Structure 1
Amino acid sequence: MTRENETLPSLSAMPAWLVPSVYLHWSAEWLRESIAIATRSREHSLPGGNDGPQRGDVVVTVLGDAGVVAAVELMGATEGESWVTDDLFGPDRPIVWADLFDGADNYTGSSGWLPAEHARLVLDGIADQFRTGPVHTLDPGDCGTSKTAPDVHALRILGHRAVTGWAMRREERCASCERFVDVQQMHAHDDGAVRLGTTTAGGRTLEQVVRDVHLLCEPCHDLMHAHTVAAQRARMRPQCPGCGARGKTKRVVWGMTFQDDVMNAEPDVVYGGFEVPVPTPEWYCTSCHANFASAVIASRALTATGSSPMTGATPLVTDPPESEPLA
Structure 2
Amino acid sequence: MSRTIIRHCPPEKQQQALELVLQDVTPQLRAGLVDVLRPTAQQGIDVFAGLIIAEDDGKLVGAAWLQPQVGRTATLWPPILRGDITDDQTLCKLAGAAVAASRSLPVDLVQLLLDKPSTGLVPLLEELEFEKLADLEYLMHTVPRRYLGDLDPDVTFDSPAMEQQELLEQLVKTTYEQTLDCPGLEGRRNIEDVLTGYQAVGEYDPKMWYIVRWRTEPVGVLLTAPYPDGDQWEIVYVGIAPRFRGRRLGKKILAHLTSLAAQRKVEYLVVAVDAANAPALRVYEQSGYVRWAERTAYIRSIERSDAG
So what's the TM-score if we normalise by structure 2? 0.26
> Relative contact order: is structure 1 or structure 2 higher (C-alpha 8 Å, sep ≥ 6)?
2
So what's the TM-score if we normalise by structure 1? 0.25
Higher strand share: 2
Compare CA radii of gyration and give the structure with the larger one: 1
Higher helix share: 2
